[in-house]
Amino acid sequence: MNVEEVLKLADELVFVKTGKHLNSLQQDILKGVWNSQKYAEIANNCNCTETHVKKVASDLWKTLSETLGERLNKSNLKATLERSQFANVSSYFLQDSVHIGNVNLCTDNVHSPTVSPPPQPQQTSTQKTTKPPIRIDLTNAPEAKSFYDRYTELNILEKYILEDKCRLLAVLGISGIGKTALSIHLLANIKHKFQYIIWRSLSTSPSLQTTLKYLIKFLSNQPETELPTTNDDRLSLLLEYLQKYRCLIVLDDLQMILNGGKLAGNYQPEYEDYSLLFKLVGELSHKSCLILNSWEPPLEISSLAGENLPVRCFKLNGLGKAGFEIFRENGLLDEDKWSVLINNYGGNPLWLKIVSRMISSLFNGRVAEYLKYDCLFLSEDLTSGLRQQFQRLSDFEKQVIFQICNESEPVSMFNLVENMEISISDILAAIQSLERRSLIEKIENSSDALFTIQPLLKLYLQTNTQNQKPITQRK
């Protein structure tokens, strides 16, 4: 391992344990110890006392030891971290849950015989403060991978959930922007504040009945035969749990139950009953939080959400300079050109990964060589991901987005209305919907809002428009 890898691994391990990243002194200590420096030398380089360095180091070894489940100190740091480098950090997330307090972990099935009865949150004031039990079911969540930055986003979401007591939170953004990854790290940060944590993906478009079944099976720890059979009864039971205990539920890939060919946020006909679940969770008083990850917000969330309300939407944007770490991971060269890549690919971590791998294999990592071709790379996997998103657009949305795409500069609402032969209300509805889907961006200028589209989406539209009707323009 080189020192960069050590810092990355240690940062991930500390993060799953504490929800915080390494600070600069911790990094300097790790670098120093890795390079066989003495504490006095490290202290000298960092302009602080040796005692302080020793204290920070000792806390760091303790955190790392607890996360790894084995004793780590200055003298065995190298060997221990090298052994651990291939382990998956998400397993530490789970392991951590087993190790802390009275935590019970539900690893593969909510009816596993190892699952304990529901937690007993009440404590009398005379009892010693012990951590309340936590039950976690992350079997449906993907593994945590390398993850950079997003400190601001994590802070905002933590505040929404823990301080503002947000009940329903939609994390929104285009595919690949990092909603799932962010939510996994958010959970790791705040898990100790909850008694139940469960993650369900809606990628296979399960019915409301199935989703409710999983949720209440997990919460009640009852066999399926004991569960209420109607959706109404299952909903009532779920709400009772949300009121009685602090539950954190993530429903990932929510867009899979929403409809294509219509404006953003409409349900597919057989999934409209999810609307009631979201309304109740958003409107009734309880102490839990439901996080929805989606390409677009369901309609009722758009109407219930507000800055000071318990229902919020959070739009996730691309990575800034943190995207450089993805380039570093893939061994890219020509760092002075990396900002161009971030800009061209909108800081979308998935797109950055795809283009990095291509530059690494075709250009031996030389970004400058790639940029000489003055083109964007639209690989097959990128195209098929984008196709899924564009296929969902309504006819009016398609017309509006093609109109924006045809302009070389950001375009104002006035220009769109002037140049398109569809009614103003249809144009406004289409713009609102495209914004909700994160497919267009609004730039505020002094007098007017201007709309634009990311370079990669533009390229996709330009190269995949053969079957589109030409845009009609008024003379």
Rounded Cα distance between 92 and 105, Å, is: 12
Q: Which CB sits closer to ligand ATP, 152 or 225?
A: 152
Which of the ranges 20-28, 60-68, 121-129, 349-357 carries the binding residues for ligand ATP, by CB under 6 A? 349-357
350 binds ligand ATP (CB under 6 A): yes
Interface of this chain with ligand ATP, residues 253 to 272, rule: CB under 6 A: 253
Q: Which amino acid is at 89?
A: V
Min separation Cβ 453 and Mg ion, Å: 22
Rounded Cα distance between 386 and 237, Å, is: 39
Min separation Cβ 382 and Mg ion, Å: 16
Binding string to ligand ATP for residues 310 to 329, with x set by CB under 6 A, is what?
Answer: ---------x------x---
Q: Which CB sits closer to Mg ion, 221 or 293?
A: 293
Residues 177, 247, 301, 457: which binds ligand ATP (CB under 6 A)?
A: 177
Rounded Cα distance between 475 and 467, Å, is: 24
- Its sign, for the CA torsion 406, 410, 413, 418, is negative
Contact 292, 279 (CB under 8 A): no
30 binds ligand ATP (CB under 6 A): no
150 binds ligand ATP (CB under 6 A): yes
Min separation Cβ 106 and ligand ATP, Å: 23
Structure token pair of residue 8: 């990355």
Which of the ranges 175-183, 362-370, 376-384, 395-403 carries the binding residues for Mg ion, by CB under 5 A? 175-183
Q: Alpha helix locations (H) across 133-207?
A: 151-158, 179-190
How many residues in the shown chain lie near ligand ATP by CB under 6 A? 21
Min separation Cβ 180 and Mg ion, Å: 3
N-term to C-term CA, the chain: 65
148 binds ligand ATP (CB under 6 A): yes
Q: Which CB sits closer to Mg ion, 251 or 450?
A: 251
Q: Which CB sits closer to ligand ATP, 151 or 414?
A: 151
DSSP letters spanning 210-273? HHHHHHHHHHH---GGGS--SHHHHHHHHHHHHHHS-EEEEEE-GGGGBPSSSSTTPBPGGGTT
Rounded Cα distance between 76 and 66, Å, is: 15
Q: Which CB sits closer to ligand ATP, 22 or 110?
A: 22
Rounded Cα distance between 450 and 452, Å, is: 7
Q: Which CB sits closer to Mg ion, 9 or 154?
A: 154
DSSP state, residue 347 = T
Give residues in contact with ligand ATP (CB under 6 A): 145-150, 173, 175-181, 253, 295, 319, 326, 349-350, 353
